[in-house]
Amino acid sequence: MDLAKIRGNTQTLVSRLGPRGIGVTGVTKAVCGNPAIAQAMLDGGALGLADARIRNVQRLRQAGMICPVTLIRTPMLSQVDEVVGFCEVSYNTESAVIAALASAAICKDKVHGIILMVEMGDLRDGIMPEDLADFAKQVMTMQGVALKGIGANFACFSGLAPTVSQMADFCDLANEIEGVCGPYLKTVSGGSSANLPWALGEHATGRVNDLRLGEAILLGVEPLSGDQIDGMHTDAFTLVAEVIETDAKPTPSPIAPIDPTREPLRIVTPSAASARMILAMGHQDTEIPGLTMPVGSTLIGATSDHLVIGTLRPLSTVGSEMRFQMNYDALMHAMAAPDIEVTLLGEPSMRPSRLPQGKVNHLALM
């Protein structure tokens, strides 16, 4: 992974969203809270970090990260002590969880920030808009927590981009909550990378002052279309696999299965053969359909730990490497896979005070 490109992508988005009154929160969940990537986001101008898993947040803290970190998945009741201990703020949808966070915060002599997630049409997590005001008033009565804002998800579950009308309704909710509860909402988080076309459009962005950006920063693409964002790097990450076998073998031909719900069967025709390579990588390592095949190569198939590639090019030698670009799902799986070794390219940080404490791996410069 190329830290300079991640930092550059962050800078590009910060510079475009800043004039519209929108700050960037860097989301590190796809990279399992990797501290070097988190630091590159901060160096690029992200105002803080966000993650969905407390283990990733702990990794950031153990590396010496002192910036604000928000938990963007509703906390588990079993982890409220850790959430209060490691996160300044968390996104919430359940009153029982907020009450538990309040109790944990009081025990730690802290005040934990609460952002209420609103259901605006994605049909995943969120409080229904008509219930939000009463929910917010309930939070205002609790000691140990403070209402910091509201947030919404779009296109995470439904795959539907937000409309201008939906975003206007969301902004109206911020005004309504302030009218009911009194204090100014510090954060009105209008969504994730899928909201960039809306945020950079010609219309007003209203009360939205924050976007939670992961995929756009990491891969330089718009999630829904997969298109490159103008001026962004799409090759900050490269997955490298080693060739373990080269050969020409018969080509299997698909035949229709008896059961139409099953995948087509494959039979070998003895007259057909293709040049193939087998790589030491499989379903345990990444999301295979999310890989972009090198030019002149095609995906034949994969098992748990073998990737079979057909090629029109001269066969690579055993021990050589093939390189792949990844989509977001493939990146997430690869970063979490125990057998994938991570190599950092580029300068690790522009802020030495925030370097990870203790032993640090040497960086390969290219």
Task: Give yes or no for a contact between 171 and 151, defined as CB atoms under 8 angstroms apart.
Answer: no
Pairing of strands 291-292, 210-213: unpaired
- Residue with the two structure tokens 């009565």: 141
Backbone phi, psi, residue 56, to 5°: -65, -40
Mark whether 182 and 211 lie in a shared domain: yes
Is 246 part of any domain? yes
Task: Give yes or no for a contact between 88 and 51, defined as CB atoms under 8 angstroms apart.
Answer: no
| Pure H helices in 87-244 | 95-107, 129-140, 164-181, 196-199, 215-219
Mark whether 77 and 164 lie in a shared domain: yes
pTM of the entire predicted model: 0.89
Task: Give yes or no for a contact between 53 and 70, defined as CB atoms under 8 angstroms apart.
Answer: no
Mark whether 131 and 274 lie in a shared domain: no
Is 360 part of any domain? no
Angstrom distance (rounded) from CA 151 to CA 95:
16
Is 332 part of any domain? no
Pairing of strands 239-255, 321-326: antiparallel
Answer with the one of 219, 250, 270 that is the final residue of a domain.
219
Q: Between the CA atoms of 3, 62, 26 and 122, what dihedral angle is there, to the nearest 10 degrees?
A: 130
Is 331 part of any domain? no
Mark whether 168 and 30 lie in a shared domain: yes
Mark whether 169 and 243 lie in a shared domain: no
Mark whether 15 and 155 lie in a shared domain: yes
> What does pLDDT average to in each consecutive run of 10 residues of the chain (366 residues)?
98 98 98 98 98 98 97 98 98 98 98 98 94 97 98 92 95 96 94 96 96 98 95 98 87 61 50 75 97 93 96 88 97 97 81 38 31
Pairing of strands 112-118, 145-152: parallel
Joined tokens for residue 153: 């998800």
- Count of domains observed in the chain: 2
Is 309 part of any domain? yes
Is 231 part of any domain? no
Q: What is the pLDDT of residue 355?
A: 37
Angstrom distance (rounded) from CA 16 to CA 1:
24
Q: What is the pLDDT of residue 363?
A: 30
Helix (H) or strand (E) holding 211: strand 210-213
Mark whether 168 and 113 lie in a shared domain: yes
Joined tokens for residue 171: 């902004």
Angstrom distance (rounded) from CA 240 to CA 334:
11
Q: What is the pLDDT of residue 116?
A: 98
Joined tokens for residue 82: 């850790």
Mark whether 27 and 111 lie in a shared domain: yes
Joined tokens for residue 168: 């206007």
Mark whether 289 and 166 lie in a shared domain: no
Mark whether 35 and 117 lie in a shared domain: yes
Task: Give yes or no for a contact between 144 and 105, defined as CB atoms under 8 angstroms apart.
Answer: yes
Beta strands across the sheet bearing 321-326 = 291-292, 321-326, 239-255, 265-279, 307-311, 297-302
Find the CATH number of the domain harbouring 45.
3.20.20.10
Mark whether 40 and 82 lie in a shared domain: yes
Mark whether 213 and 308 lie in a shared domain: no
Is 192 part of any domain? yes
Q: Which domain holds residue 149?
A: 3-219
- DSSP 8-state assignment for residue 227: P
Q: What is the pLDDT of residue 311?
A: 87
Is 227 part of any domain? no
Task: Give yes or no for a contact between 263 and 254, defined as CB atoms under 8 angstroms apart.
Answer: no
